[in-house]
Structure 1
Amino acid sequence: MSSSELPEENPIYGPFFGVMGAASAIIFSAFGAAYGTAKSGTGIASMAVMRPELIMKSIIPVVMAGIIAIYGLVIAILIAGKITEPATYSLYMGFKHLGAGLSVGFSGLGAGFAVGIVGDAGVRGTAQQPRLFIGMVLILIFAEVLGLYGLIVGIFMYAD
């Protein structure tokens, strides 16, 4: 194989994959956070009709859902800061950044769905039986940590 037949080391489309990684991180994690907020919020609204004194105590799932979007924001900013012009950005780096963004985005999506479903059922149940509150918080923590696992993997993939 002559040098003119070798594949280009830094193709012009290399940064595309990095940009898609950054976009995937924030889009999917924000979608998961939005779902978690909406689903938990409807549960809080239903519960508040009968027990309005529990509204502030029941806001925990909404806060936890919002944290998931922060994970996507962090990795998206990190990736976007490393994206350079095609001449200095390798295809390998683009694939690493795509993988990092997808790991954070999809784990945030799953965590947001879990937080929303648990938050909805948990606040409704807590309104009827207050002893359920601690159990709901523990389950929410286990759901939230799924997004954190994705962030940890994403940071390892992002790092040079």
Structure 2
Amino acid sequence: MADKITEACPVYAPFFGAMGCTAAIVLTCMGASYGTAKSGVGVTAMGVLRPDLIVKSIIPVVMAGIIGIYGLVVSVLISDGLQQAVPLYTSFVQFGAGLAVGLAGLAAGFAIGIVGDAGVRGTAQQPRLYVGMILILIFAEVLGLYGLIVALLMNSKATLNASC
């Protein structure tokens, strides 16, 4: 093992890959939990006035949960490439991939939570707002999808011409 420790493959290199794996799941779950909580409060408040719309109004909660799945996918893919002797290049790319999906998921979760809360409350008062809320939620969700796509592309390049 000691013969694989070089300048291109230092002993601390796996740390960055592990942190990318951690950032992917932790940050996306933070976004998903915020989106779920904020939207859930709106659904609960709306359900007091219009209990017949509760099932129709849980769409933001479902969309927030999907953000966490993006982080899970990237985290599993990064963890598959973790090893004791890893090139610094590979671990930095894994770290970047984790941050890409994690921060995008965090932003998407915040957007979904805020739009979901206001949207379901508004829909209770004016049902024609529902389609507009769904469209805005789709645009918020796609922010997390962008992070997933970038992270997948980055992770696929992590081992390109890199060896210890």
TM-score, normalised with respect to structure 2: 0.92
Match of 1:137 among 127, 134, 137: 134
1:31-42 alignment runs, 5 A limit: 31-42=30-41
Q: Which amino acid aligns with 1:18?
A: G
Q: Which amino acid aligns with 2:32?
A: A
Residue 3 of structure 1 is matched in structure 2 by none
Gaps of 5+ in 1: 1-6
CA positional deviation for 1:52:
0.2
Pair 1:21-2:20 in alignment: yes
Misfit runs of 4+, over 4 Å: none
Matched residues, number? 152
TM-score, normalised with respect to structure 1: 0.94
Residue 3 of structure 2 is matched in structure 1 by none
Residue 114 of structure 2 is matched in structure 1 by 117
Residues 30-74 of structure 1: CA distance to partner in whole angstroms, max 9, x if unpaired?
A: 000000000000000000001000000000000000000000000
Residues 119-151 of structure 1: CA distance to partner in whole angstroms, max 9, x if unpaired?
A: 000000000000000000000000000000000
Residue 10 of structure 1 is matched in structure 2 by 9
Percent of aligned pairs with the same residue? 64
Residue 52 of structure 1 is matched in structure 2 by 51
CA positional deviation for 1:101:
0.2
1:45-124 alignment runs, 5 A limit: 45-86=44-85, 89-124=86-121
Task: Give, in whole Å, the separation in 1 of the partners of 2:74 and 2:11.
Answer: 23
Gaps of 5+ in 2: 1-5, 158-164
Residue 154 of structure 1 is matched in structure 2 by 151
Task: Give, in whole Å, the separation in 2 of the partners of 1:97 and 1:124.
Answer: 40
Residues 94-113 of structure 1: CA distance to partner in whole angstroms, max 9, x if unpaired?
A: 00000000000000000000
Task: Give, in whole Å, the separation in 2 of the partners of 1:75 and 1:83.
Answer: 13
CA positional deviation for 1:8:
1.4
Task: Give, in whole Å, the separation in 2 of the partners of 1:48 and 1:98.
Answer: 42
Aligned-residue Cα RMSD (Å) equals: 0.7
Residue 160 of structure 2 is matched in structure 1 by none
Task: Give, in whole Å, the separation in 1 of the partners of 2:103 and 2:87.
Answer: 24
- Could you say what secondary structure the match of 1:104 adopts? helix
CA positional deviation for 1:91:
0.3
CA positional deviation for 1:15:
0.6
